[in-house]
Structure 1
C-alpha cells in the first residue's frame, strides 16, 4: 500500500528540512524501535538499559504505540517545541480529539480494553500522560541534547544536497527504502498499510530527520503550517555512546587497511567522509567521523596541506571537499 503526496511547483519551492527533531514523532519511533530486535549493534545496549529502567506504567504507551500499527495521533503528532512543552500540551488534548483518534485506530486494529473509555475518563487519560512522560524520560531525555545537535548538522547537509541536486533529488534520496519520487508525486510505503492521497495545495512539505526511525518514514498531515514527513537521519546518533559514530564510519576506517596505514585510522575516516559528503562543515564532519570538532579540524587541515582536501569559507563556516588528488587516492587499488 502506498500513500501519495502530490506536489505543485509552489509546493516544491516551499518544501524545507527541519532544523530539529519533533519530540512526539521521535518518541513514537523510539517506542517502536524498543519493541523490535533489529539493529542490535546500534540499539542493543540502549534497549537493555531502557527495559531495565522502565516501570510497569510504561505498558499503557506500549499498548497504544505498536510496531507496524497506527497509533493515536495525539500521542505521536508533529508538535514543535521543547519536549516538556509538547508533553504538557498532550495533557490538554480535547476529549473529542481523543475519541476521534481512538476510533481511527480501532478501524484498523483492536484497541486494548482499558483504552476504550479513555476519552471520558480524565483520570485514566492523565495516567496515560504520566506513562508517556515516563517513556520520554527513559528513552529520549538522556540523549535529547545530542539528537538536537545532530539535527543542526543534518539540515546543513540536506540543504546543500538540495542546492546541488535540486528538490527532486532531495525528495528521492531522503529514504530510498520506502519513499519514491514519481513526479509530481512522492510515493511513501507505510508499514501500517496506509493508502491515500495528500494534496499539499501550495503548503509544501516539512522533512524531519528521525534518529530512531531507521527504516520507515512517518507522515503527519494535520501539522501546521505544512504536513510533515520523517526520514532516517543521515547523521545518526549512536545510542551506545555520547559521541556520534555512524555505522559506516568504522567500516570505512577499517575496511581499507592500505589507506589507514598511510593516513592513520581516524584521518582515513575523515577523508572518506569528506568524499561522501562534499561541502560538509567541520561540525558535520566531526559528527560523521565520530570525533570532536577540534579533532576534525586538525585532520582536515593536515589533509588540506597534503593537497587531498580543499576548504572554502562561507561566513564563519569552513566547508570541506575532496581535491582531484584526494579522489585519485581513494580510487587507487
Structure 2
C-alpha cells in the first residue's frame, strides 16, 4: 500500500486539474491496449483501435510513451507498464493520432465533468469528502491517504503541491507521479474516473444524431432537462428543478446520455449530470439543427 502523509500545510496545497492530460492518456492507452485491459467497458475501443495494423505496429515500437518513462515516480503501475518503452515524439504522436485523438474531445469533456464534480465535493465537504470519494482503492485515514496499488511506500509532500488529475485510460488503480509545477516540483495523483458501458459507448462511437436515439429527445421534459443542466446537478436536484420524480429524471438523462448530449459521473450513490459540448451547442449556439430540434420538442 502506498501512503501519502499530509501535514496541515500540505492540505492547503491541494488542487484539481480542470481536465485530462493527452500525453498521460496516450501512455495509459498504450499500456491498456498492450494488456488488452479494461474489460467490457474498453472492448469497443480495443476493437476499433486494433483494426488498424499501423496502431498494432506502433504499440510495440520503441518510442511509444510508456507510463514508466512518462512519470518520474512509477508507483501504482502494473509490472507490464513499467517495462513499457519510453517517451518518443514521432512514435507517440502517431499512436496518439490513431488511438486517442479521435475520441479526445468526448473523453476530455467527460474528464472535465468529473473534475468539476470533485471540485464541488471539495468545496462542500473538504478534504474528507474529496479523498473519501476519490476511488475504491483510495482510503483516507487522516492525515494519511492510502492507495491500494500493490506498492509499499511512504510519501511526504513536505510542502509540495498536490494536483488531482482525472484519467480515462488509467484503469484500475490510482497513480502518483512527480513533475514540474508553477512553484517547483509537484505531486500529481492521477485517478481513474468511474465509467459505465453506456457512457463508454458514446465516447467510442460518438453521439447518435439521427434515428431512434435522436427521435427519443423530442419532448418538453427532455428539452427542459437540457436547459436545467446549464448548471450541473445531481439526479435528485434535477428532479426538483423540473418537478418530476427522481426515477423519471434518471430515465430521461439515460436517453440524453446515449445521444451524447449529457455526461454523468458517479460517486457512491450520487450521480452528477452535465451538458456535453454537443449538448451546449444544441441548446445555445442557434445553429439550424439546434433550432429545429428545440422547435420540434415544443419549446418556444
Assess same fold via TM > 0.5.
yes
Q: Secondary structure at the match of 1:208?
A: strand
Match in the other structure for 1:134: 94
Summarize deviations over 1:179-236 as a string: whole Å, max 9, x none: 111211111122xx43222211122310000011232111102443420011122476
- How far the C-alpha of 1:23 sits from its partner, in A, is 2.3
Aligned counterparts of 2:71 and 2:133: Cα–Cα separation in 1: 24
Q: Which runs of 5+ in 2 are unaligned?
A: 209-234, 236-244, 257-263, 285-300
Give how far 1:36 is off.
3.8
Deviations 1:81-124 (A, max 9, x none): xxxxxxxxxxxxxxxxxxxx99xx9x999969xx7xxxxxxxxx
Does 2:77 correspond to 1:77? Answer: no
2:138–2:148 Cα contact (<8 Å) kept: yes
Paired residues of 1:7 and 1:199 also in contact (CA < 8 A): yes
Tell me the equivalent position of 1:319: none
CA gap of 1:62–1:217, structure 2 versus 1, over 3 A, is farther
- Over aligned residues, Cα RMSD in angstroms? 4.3
TM-score, normalised to structure 2, is: 0.61
Give me the whole-angstrom Cα distance separating, in 1, the residues matched to 2:81 and 2:123.
Answer: 42
1:316 aligns to what? Answer: none
Which structure shows the higher strand fraction? 2
CA distance in structure 2 between the partners assigned to 1:110 and 1:146 by the alignment = 28
Equivalent residues in 2 for 1:86-235 (5 A)? 128-176=88-136, 178-190=137-149, 193-224=150-181, 225-234=185-194
Equivalence for 2:17: 18
Provide closer, same or farther for how the CA distance between residues 165 and 269 of structure 1 changes in structure 2, counting only shifts above 3 A: farther
- Aligned twin of 1:4: 3
Within 5 Å, which residues of 2 pair with 1:263-282? 265-266=251-252, 277=270
CA contact (8 A) 2:26 2:65 kept: no
Query: In the alignment, is the contact (CA less than 8 A) between 2:164 and 2:188 conserved in 1?
Result: yes
**How has the CA–CA distance of structure 1 residues 4 and 223 changed in structure 2, closer, same or farther, with 3 Å as cutoff?**
farther
Correspondence for 1:304: none
Secondary structure of the residue that 2:114 maps to in structure 1?
helix
Bigger Rg, structure 1 or 2: 1
Q: Relative to total residues, which structure has the larger helix share, 1 or 2?
A: 1
Contact 1:58-1:132 within 8 A present in 2 as well? no
Cα distance in 1 for residues equivalent to 2:131 and 2:194: 14
